[in-house]
């Protein structure tokens, strides 16, 4: 499912299973959410979260197979809706996590899996393998409201938004950097994980106050906070 | 005026006329375009795509200011202009909510409302060898309708491009339009740009997207524009699982 490991300043959240496409099923969603809350509860100055997976996939999105295996079409729809609604707090948790967050996308990230990556402050992917893909248009699945808002918040380029969301373009590393979707693309799993750790070290060394960091991050994404029901607090002015 | 033709999956909307016709968006043409878009919508199936283009030197030179000015008095002229502004709004709304991908093949000059018409499409192709995009309002001393400003901000990401186009009244040729992120591609020659439009249309059509879902996704990209056009965003569309 997933593990949360503490290595010095770092919280490393790993979706486990080499041959797994890390579908965001209700169980995995619950496990990721509780891992994030655990990290939050142990946060100190200089903490950093790194999220990655094992194998060919970062995450292939919601568990549509589970949804489809429901007794009736309307039950299938309810299952999908359940996953959509339980993923919402994960995005909210990441947007309000009191520490910098880095997604190391070592494999394919599709649909909610792509959304999971984008919910991080920094995203690295591989240049040699793996695509980012919003499959919804090809699957005929409308976006949950907060998905459009997340993508508009995180993708500055209007053409990139259209290509990713409306055209279902499968974006590889170099293109993702060019479109401003990711912060870097690296050749091979070792290199991308190395880059993630290196960045995390740099961020940790700044020893930021996590509460301040989180409020500044939230202020970057007011529309996203609103749709997630995250209040933008006025932090204690103890430093002034 | 304009024709709507179906070629396989493709709906081709053409503003017709001889090579000097500047396809002014007068009340009659506006009404015909609107009814053509509604016709395309009513016949939409999976894989449908709309391609909008014109014949001749102009894609469209904007509202029919000549018709507005030929009214009896200044207040009457203002009323006529206002009427065209009001009747163009549903065209923008129709394009932003159309249940199929849309491509503007700008084979000639596109000015003012003509430029806006092109921008309403998901993809815009123009010529590299001929034609400019031009928001003439600042030069003409005409105020910009509110929804025009919102449309430009929704579709043109670069802050300096918005300033150059709207405030600077720049006449933008193909290569520059690509550089500024206003259009998606340029092609040399009328045949070439039209063929490129058809190829893109076929490519998008082959994806066989569910138009209802596509239209809702598109609206989700432009919430402020939908707001000013009175378009509901986030209407639940049942997915097929």
B58-112: pLDDT as tens digits: 999 999 999 999 998 999 999 999 999 999 999 999 999 999 999 999 999 999 9
Which of B122, B181, B215, B217 would you mutate first to test chain A, the one with the most A CBs within 10 A? B217
Confidence band of B167 (pLDDT split at 50, 70, 90): very high
- Minimal CA separation from B77 to chain A, in Å: 37
**Residue B121 token pair:** 């499409």
Residue B234 touches chain A, beta carbons under 8 Å: yes
- Which residues of chain B does A67 touch, with a Cβ-Cβ cutoff of 8 Å? 241
- Which residues of chain B does A69 touch, with a Cβ-Cβ cutoff of 8 Å? none
| pLDDT score at A232 | 74
- What distance in Å separates the CA atoms of residue B162 and residue B155, rounded to the nearest whole number? 10
Mean predicted confidence (pLDDT) in B5-21: 96
Kindly tell me if the per-residue pLDDT of A222 is higher than 60.
yes
| pLDDT score at B234 | 77
Say whether B213 and A142 touch across the interface (CB within 8 A). yes
* Vertex B5 angle, CA B2 and B7, to 5°: 155
Mean predicted confidence (pLDDT) in B46-52: 97
Nearest to B157 among A139, A145, A156 (CB): A156
Helix (H) or strand (E) holding A39: helix A26-41
* Vertex A224 angle, CA B214 and A216, to 5°: 150
| pLDDT score at A237 | 52
Residue B156 touches chain A, beta carbons under 8 Å: yes
Q: What percent of chain A has pLDDT over 90?
A: 96
Residue B217 touches chain A, beta carbons under 8 Å: yes
Kindly tell me if the per-residue pLDDT of B241 is higher than 80.
no
pLDDT tens for B99-155 read 999 999 999 999 999 999 999 999 999 999 999 999 999 999 999 999 999 999 999
Kindly tell me if the per-residue pLDDT of A239 is higher than 80.
no
Say whether B204 and A73 touch across the interface (CB within 8 A). no
| pLDDT score at B137 | 95
What letter would DSSP give residue B166?
Answer: I
Which of A62, A64, A140 would you mutate first to test chain B, the one with the most B CBs within 10 A? A140
- Minimal CA separation from B219 to chain A, in Å: 10
- What distance in Å separates the CA atoms of residue A15 and residue A128, rounded to the nearest whole number? 21
What letter would DSSP give residue B184?
Answer: S
Say whether A148 and B221 touch across the interface (CB within 8 A). yes
Say whether B207 and A168 touch across the interface (CB within 8 A). yes
Q: What is the ipTM of this complex?
A: 0.92
Mean predicted confidence (pLDDT) in A188-198: 97
pLDDT tens for A157-176 read 999 999 999 999 999 999 99
Long-range CB contacts for residues A222-230, cutoff 8 Å, separation at least 24:
A223/A149, A223/A152, A223/A153, A224/A91, A224/A95, A224/A146, A224/A149, A224/A150, A224/A153, A225/A95, A227/A145, A227/A146, A227/A149, A228/A88, A228/A91, A228/A92, A228/A95, A228/A146, A229/A92, A230/A92, A230/A95, A230/A96
Give the number of other Cβ atoms within 10 Å of residue A172's Cβ. Answer: 17
- What distance in Å separates the CA atoms of residue A137 and residue A143, rounded to the nearest whole number? 9
pLDDT tens for A39-97 read 999 999 999 999 999 999 999 999 999 999 999 999 999 999 999 999 999 999 999 99
- What distance in Å separates the CA atoms of residue A88 and residue A65, rounded to the nearest whole number? 20
Mean predicted confidence (pLDDT) in B182-187: 98
Whose tokens are 């995450």? That residue is A59
**Beta bridge partner(s), residue A88:** none
Say whether B239 and A145 touch across the interface (CB within 8 A). no
**Residue A38 token pair:** 């655990």
Query: B224 or A233: which carries more pLDDT confidence?
Result: B224
Say whether A143 and B155 touch across the interface (CB within 8 A). no
Decide: A138 and A93 in contact? Cβ < 8 Å. Answer: no
**Residue B241 token pair:** 């699982």
- What distance in Å separates the CA atoms of residue B126 and residue A233, rounded to the nearest whole number? 48
Q: Residue A104 to residues A17, A58, A109, A190, B91: CA-CA distances in angstroms?
A: 16, 8, 11, 11, 44
- What distance in Å separates the CA atoms of residue B40 and residue B100, rounded to the nearest whole number? 9
Nearest to B214 among A68, A137, A148 (CB): A137
Closest-CA residue in chain A for B203?
Answer: A167
Say whether A159 and B157 touch across the interface (CB within 8 A). yes
Cα–chain center distance at B18? 20
Nearest to A113 by CA among A194, A36, A25, A176: A25
Kindly tell me if the per-residue pLDDT of A156 is higher than 90.
yes
Say whether A137 and B213 touch across the interface (CB within 8 A). yes
């Amino acid at each position: 499912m997933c593990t949360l490991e503490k290595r010095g300043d770092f919280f490393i959240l790993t979706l486990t299973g080499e041959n797994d496409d890390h579908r965001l099923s209700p169980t995995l969603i619950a496990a990721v959410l509780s891992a994030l809350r655990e990290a939050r509860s142990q946060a100190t100055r200089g903490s950093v979260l790194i999220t990655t997976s094992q194998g060919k996939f970062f995450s292939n999105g919601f568990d549509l197979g589970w949804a489809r295996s429901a007794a009736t079409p309307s039950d299938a729809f309810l299952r999908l809706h359940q996953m959509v609604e339980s993923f919402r707090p994960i995005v909210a948790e990441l947007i309000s996590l009191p520490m910098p967050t880095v997604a190391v996308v070592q494999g394919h990230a599709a649909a909610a899996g792509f959304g999971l990556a984008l919910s991080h402050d920094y995203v690295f992917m591989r240049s040699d393998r793996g695509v980012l893909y919003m499959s919804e248009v090809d699957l005929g699945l409308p976006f949950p409201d907060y998905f459009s808002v997340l993508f508009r918040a995180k993708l500055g380029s209007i053409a990139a938004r259209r290509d990713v969301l409306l055209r279902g373009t499968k974006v590889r590393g170099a293109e993702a950097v060019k479109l401003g979707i990711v912060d870097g693309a690296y050749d091979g799993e070792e290199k991308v994980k190395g880059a993630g750790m290196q960045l995390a070290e740099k961020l940790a060394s700044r020893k930021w106050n996590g509460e301040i960091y989180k409020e500044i991050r939230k202020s970057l994404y007011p529309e996203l906070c609103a749709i997630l029901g995250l209040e933008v607090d006025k932090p204690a002015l103890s430093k002034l | 005026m304009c024709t709507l033709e179906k070629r396989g999956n493709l709906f081709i909307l053409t503003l017709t006329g001889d090579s000097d016709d500047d396809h002014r968006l007068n009340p009659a043409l506006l009404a015909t375009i609107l009814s053509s878009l509604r016709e395309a919508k009513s016949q939409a199936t999976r894989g449908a795509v709309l391609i909008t283009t014109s014949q001749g030197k102009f894609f469209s030179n904007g509202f029919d200011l000549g018709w507005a000015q030929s009214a009896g008095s200044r207040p009457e002229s203002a009323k006529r202009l206002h009427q065209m502004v009001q009747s163009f709004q549903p065209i923008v709304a129709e394009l932003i909510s159309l249940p199929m991908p849309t491509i503007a093949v700008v084979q000639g000059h596109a000015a003012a409302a003509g430029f806006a018409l092109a921008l309403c499409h998901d993809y815009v192709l123009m010529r590299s060898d001929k034609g400019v995009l031009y928001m003439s309002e600042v030069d003409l001393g005409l105020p910009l309708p509110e929804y025009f400003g919102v449309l430009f901000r929704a579709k043109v990401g670069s802050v300096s491009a918005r300033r150059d186009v709207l405030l600077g009244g720049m006449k933008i040729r193909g290569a520059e339009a690509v550089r500024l992120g206003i259009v998606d591609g340029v092609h040399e020659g009328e045949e070439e740009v039209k063929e490129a439009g058809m190829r893109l249309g076929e490519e998008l059509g082959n994806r066989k997207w569910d138009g209802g879902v596509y239209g809702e996704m598109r609206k989700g990209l432009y919430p402020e524009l939908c707001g000013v056009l009175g378009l509901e965003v986030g209407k639940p569309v049942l997915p097929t699982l």
